[in-house]
């Protein structure tokens, strides 16, 4: 139940008594708790969704990187090339500069 407290009454000769300040009966901690719960209801799911998306992105990157690494290792194993990334099958070639 809501209560209203009239905290200051003043008298005006032309208009009679009037109220200068009205204070509602609800406590400050109730409003603060309601705001905190409302923020938690909104913010916590957003943070969890962002973390889940970040986790899925990192795991996708790691899995695809490992698949490419395994594919390149198998390809270099059966093609006879070296297993180093710089071993691309080229041989030393002498470049002749024509003038």
Residue spans per domain, the chain = 4-79
Sign of CA dihedral 31, 33, 38, 42: positive
Give the tens place of pLDDT for each residue, 89-98: 566 767 777 7
For the chain, counts of helices (H) and of strands (E): 1, 2
Give the tens place of pLDDT for each residue, 15-73: 665 555 555 555 678 788 888 999 999 999 999 999 999 999 999 999 999 999 999 88
Model's pTM, two decimal places? 0.48
71 vs 65: CA distance, rounded Å: 10
70 vs 28: CA distance, rounded Å: 62
Q: Tell which wins on pLDDT, 74 or 49.
A: 49
pLDDT bucket at 78, cuts 50 / 70 / 90: confident
């Amino acid at each position: 139940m809501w209560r209203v407290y009239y905290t200051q009454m003043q008298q005006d000769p032309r208009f009679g008594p009037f109220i200068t300040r009205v204070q509602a009966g609800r406590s400050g901690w109730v409003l603060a708790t309601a705001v905190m719960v409302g923020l938690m209801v909104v913010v916590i799911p957003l943070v969890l969704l962002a973390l889940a998306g970040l986790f899925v992105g990192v795991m996708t990157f790691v899995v695809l990187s490992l698949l490419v690494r395994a594919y390149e290792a198998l390809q270099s194993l059966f093609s006879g090339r070296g297993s180093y990334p710089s071993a691309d099958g080229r041989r030393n070639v002498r470049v002749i500069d024509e003038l």
